């Protein structure tokens, strides 16, 4: 896999969600919340694409 990939899926309860797969081995590295519509799921993907590069990391292990 050359690039990370978002996959939109539909759950057994009819809701939509996405998985983000890594570019290296294709492992799932993130799973979204459940969305009521496919468009809302696509909006969630766009939010991750837009916001992730400037996000902070908060270490809550202490």
Q: How crowded is residue 18: how many other Cβ atoms within 10 Å of its Cβ?
A: 20
CATH number of 5-53: 3.30.160.160
What pTM does this model have? 0.86
pLDDT tens readout for residues 21-56: 999 899 999 999 999 999 999 999 999 999 999 999
The predicted model gives 2-24 an average pLDDT of: 96
Helix (H), strand (E) at residue 40: helix 38-51
27 sits in the region (left: phi over 0; alpha: psi -120 to 50; else beta) called beta
């Amino acid at each position: 896999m050359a690039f990370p990939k978002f996959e939109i899926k539909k759950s057994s309860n009819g809701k939509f969600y996405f998985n983000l797969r890594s570019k290296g081995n294709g492992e799932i590295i993130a799973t979204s919340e459940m969305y009521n519509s496919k468009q809302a799921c696509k909006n969630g993907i766009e939010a991750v694409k837009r916001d992730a590069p400037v996000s902070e990391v908060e270490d809550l292990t202490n």
